[in-house]
Amino acid sequence: MTSVETRPPIIIDEPDDSFVEMIKKTGGPNIQNCYQCGTCSGSCPAGARTNYLVRGIIRKALLGLKEQVISAPELWYCTTCYTCQDRCPQDVRPTDVIKAIRNIAVAEGYMLDNHRKTAAKVVEAGHAVPLDKDMWRKLRESVGLEPVPPNASGNPWAIEEIRKITKKSGFDTLIGYEELRKAAEEKAKKKKE
């Protein structure tokens, strides 16, 4: 065991003083109202089942621990149920704060793979949950619905428009769409061999 005296200091993160201002501008203007009462975490269904602690994320954000906050997988455990938002006595609007931090995280290259894949579906099929399997179509027909709903999924021109928008807005670059597309192609090729 290393003695406390000789142990080197643990540098957790370099505080970034601009982080709070970024959050305030990105959708969490009231973050500095937080007085750490814990009502948010005590009400949080995601925190009841995981190590996600919304109060802790807000505290770290207020301390400027930007890298630690935006790179943590827990940031994505919030279900955006808004219970904390309803109950916060300081009008911090914790759900909005989490969403603001997520936006900052994505802009800086931190995103869960499954979210990237879901976003890629929007580029490919114009819908985050496309009905690209026969079983969905059959299920819809079995309850008297048309096989494809009247949205972008059934309209190739609409999908083209969506692709133009994702390209022009930089959304495809943000999610690394080309990289995902090539990986999917490789996978399909290997499957055939």
To the nearest 10°, report the CA torsion of 78, 115, 131, 143: -10
Least gap, CB of 27 to ligand SF4 (angstroms): 14
Least gap, CB of 96 to ligand SF4 (angstroms): 9
Per-residue contact string for residues 14-53; x = within reach of ligand SF4 by CB under 6 A: --------------------xxxxxxx--xxxxx------
Report if residue 149 touches ligand SF4, rule: CB under 6 A: no
The residue assigned the tokens 């879901």 is 118
Q: What angle do CA 24, 29, 35 make, to 5 degrees?
A: 105
Report if residue 75 touches ligand SF4, rule: CB under 6 A: no
Least gap, CB of 83 to ligand SF4 (angstroms): 4
Whether the Cβ atoms of residue 123 and residue 166 lie closer than 8 Å to each other: yes
Whether the Cβ atoms of residue 57 and residue 75 lie closer than 8 Å to each other: yes
186-189: long-range pairs with CB below 8 Å, 24+: none
Least gap, CB of 16 to ligand SF4 (angstroms): 20
Q: Which is nearer to ligand SF4, 96 or 124 (CB)?
A: 96
Least gap, CB of 34 to ligand SF4 (angstroms): 3
User: How many residues of this chain interact with ligand SF4, rule: CB under 6 A?
Assistant: 28
Q: What angle do CA 58, 63, 65 make, to 5 degrees?
A: 85
Q: State how far the Cα of 22 lies from the Cα of 28, in Å rounded to an integer.
A: 9
Report if residue 54 touches ligand SF4, rule: CB under 6 A: yes
Q: Which is nearer to ligand SF4, 39 or 166 (CB)?
A: 39
Q: State how far the Cα of 161 lies from the Cα of 3, in Å rounded to an integer.
A: 63
What are the residues binding ligand SF4 (CB under 6 A)?
A: 34-40, 43-47, 54-55, 58, 78-84, 88, 90, 92, 94-95, 98
